[in-house]
C-alpha cells in the first residue's frame, strides 16, 4: 500500500495540473515530467517516455498515461489518485462553463474564452513535444527525424500514421 503522503501529493499535484490542462492532459506533460522525474525522482526519463508511449499505443482514453504514471509511483491507489486529480477539477469547471455559456447563447464572452484557450493549447502542446523529444532524442539522427516530422506536420497534410510508420522504419534500420 502506498504511503498516504504520496497519494495526497499525486492527487494535489494532478489536481493543480487539471486546472492548467487546457486542450487535454497532454498539454501539461512538461510539468508532469518536471514533477515526476526531476523534482520527485519517482521515475527516469526513459520510464516516463515509455509509459507515455505505451498509453498512446493502447486502446482507451487519451489520458491513460496519467493512470500509468500514478501506477508507477504508487500502484493502483496511485493510479486512482492521479486520475481523480487530473479529471476532477477541470470537469467541474467545464460543466460550469457550459452551463453558463448555454444560458447566454448569443453572448460574446464564451467565444472569446474559447479563442484564447485555443492559442494557449497550441503553445502547451508544442512544449509537450519538446519535453518528450528531448528526453529520448540523444542522437543527432533521432533529433533530425523529429525535426523533419514536425516540419512535415506543419507544412503538409501528410497523415500522422504515415510519419509514425516511417519513423518506425528508420528505427528498425538502425538510423536512430
pTM over cut 0.85? no
Give the angle 161-44-79 at the CA atoms, nearest 5°: 75
Alpha carbon distances (Å) from 34 to 28, 122, 132: 10, 20, 11
Pick the closest to residue 44 from 125, 135, 147 (CA basis). 135
Element (H, E) at 52: helix 45-57
Extract the C-alpha cell encoding 49. 517516455
Band (147; pLDDT cuts 50, 70, 90): confident
The pLDDT of 144-158, averaged and rounded, is 87
How far apart CA 7 and CA 176 sit, in angstroms, is 38
Q: Using one digit for the tens of pLDDT, what is the confidence trace for 99-122? A: 999 999 899 999 999 899 888 888
How far apart CA 82 and CA 7 sit, in angstroms, is 8
Asked whether 132 and 56 are in contact (CB, 8 A), the reply is: no
**What is the predicted pLDDT for the residue at 5?**
96
Provide the 8-state DSSP code for 105.
Answer: T
Amino acid at each position: 500500500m502506498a504511503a498516504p503522503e504520496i497519494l495526497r501529493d499525486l492527487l494535489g499535484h494532478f489536481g493543480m495540473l487539471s486546472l492548467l490542462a487546457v486542450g487535454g492532459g497532454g498539454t501539461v506533460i512538461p510539468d508532469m515530467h518536471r514533477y515526476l522525474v526531476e523534482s520527485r525522482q519517482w521515475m527516469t526519463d526513459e520510464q516516463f517516455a515509455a509509459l507515455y508511449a505505451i498509453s498512446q499505443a493502447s486502446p482507451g482514453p487519451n489520458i491513460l498515461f496519467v493512470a500509468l504514471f500514478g501506477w508507477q509511483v504508487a500502484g493502483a491507489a496511485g493510479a486512482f489518485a492521479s486520475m481523480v486529480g487530473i479529471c476532477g477539477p477541470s470537469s467541474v469547471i467545464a460543466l460550469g462553463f457550459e452551463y453558463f455559456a448555454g444560458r447566454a447563447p448569443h453572448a460574446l464572452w464564451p467565444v472569446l474564452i474559447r479563442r484564447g484557450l485555443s492559442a494557449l493549447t497550441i503553445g502547451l502542446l508544442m512544449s509537450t513535444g519538446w519535453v518528450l523529444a528531448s528526453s529520448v532524442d540523444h542522437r543527432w539522427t533521432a533529433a533530425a527525424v523529429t525535426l523533419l516530422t514536425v516540419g512535415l506536420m506543419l507544412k503538409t497534410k501528410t497523415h500522422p500514421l504515415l510519419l509514425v510508420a516511417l519513423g518506425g522504419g528508420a528505427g528498425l534500420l538502425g538510423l536512430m
